[in-house]
Structure formats: C-alpha cells, structure tokens
Amino acid sequence: MARDLNGHPVATGGLQRLFGRLRGGSAASSEPVPGDPDLVVVAECFDDTAAASSVLADSAWREPDQAVLRHLLLVPSEQIDAVAQTAAQDGYEVVDADGIAGPEAGPGMERVALARTQLVDALHCSQERSRMAGLGARHDGTVLGWQVLQRPES
C-alpha cells in the first residue's frame, strides 16, 4: 500500500494496482519497507545547518517514488524503549543502526535508527527532522542525521 507525505497508508484503486502489475510486479511489492536490504541511500544529511531542500536537490532522490525516511539518534541506553514507543505512534520502527555513517556512541549511549515508509519532499523531511530533534531532546539524546532510501533505479 502506498504512503503519503506523513507516512499514512493511501488506498490505491484497481486501475493503479493494474498499472503496477503491468510495470513488473504487484503494487504491494513495489513499496519499500524499513529494513529492506535492497534499498540504497539516495540522500542523506548529518549537518544540522543544511537545508533539506538543498540536500534533496543535490541527491539521487526520485520525488514521485515511495521512500524510507530514516533518522539516526544518539540516546541513553535506558531511554531506547521510550524513544521507540513514542516514535511508533507516528509509524516509525527501530531498524538496525549498524553500518550507518556517523559518530559512535559513547559510554551509556546508544545509536538508534528510526525509519518509516512515506513519500518524501523537502517540507515534510524538515518537519520530521524537527520531530526527531524534539524526541531526542525529551529523552536526553540528540539527532545525528537523516537518510532517504529508495529502491535502485532499474
């Protein structure tokens, strides 16, 4: 099922599903999901001062395609469950943070990657960055950066 700019499911009509199948698969198989090993990073930013619009404009991101928006946070170990529960309210799930660029965690801190499927644009990417900054701050943590992942272009 396709997702909107806020990560909410959007029902597709029968005609859209048919076109999806004609393009080479079912509509359901074309949606990327967090944790999918076939996804590639098409845009990323680990600089708080960089505008999402500039980062996306200079990237390989494909605007009309569904994507996974992934945020990397650094939080105290005892706060991981609370961060995951709060993020889950907005459709985020914890995914493996190993292999994601960025600083390593110090004593008592953990790197946490939160991701969800959605359409991405600069405005909503900025809003989600702010949401994650607030989430990190409320749990004595910080945001390290964000990434947009999509299927490789065929």
> Going residue by residue through the chain (154 aa), what tens digit of pLDDT does each one get?
687 667 667 776 655 655 555 654 444 457 899 999 999 999 999 999 999 999 999 999 999 999 999 999 999 999 999 999 999 999 999 999 988 887 888 899 999 999 999 999 999 999 999 999 999 999 999 999 999 999 998 7
What CA–CA distance (Å, rounded) separates 33 from 2? 11
Return the HEC string of the chain: CEECCCCCEECCCHHHHHHHHHCCCCCHHHCCCCCCCCCEEEEEECCCCCCHHHHHHCCCCCCCCCEEEEEEEEEEHHHHHHHHHHHHCCCCEEECCCCCCCCCCCCCEEEEEEEEEECCCHHHHHHHHHHHHHHHHHCCCEEEEEEEEECCCC
Instruction: Confirm if 55 and 20 have CB atoms less than 8 A apart.
Output: no
Residue 63: per-residue pLDDT: 93
What CA–CA distance (Å, rounded) separates 7 from 91? 7
pTM comes to: 0.83
Residue 26: per-residue pLDDT: 44
Structure tokens at 151: 């299927």
Residue 15: per-residue pLDDT: 58
Longest dimension (CA), the chain: 54
Beta bridge partners of 145: 72
What CA–CA distance (Å, rounded) separates 88 from 94? 9
Residue 67: per-residue pLDDT: 97
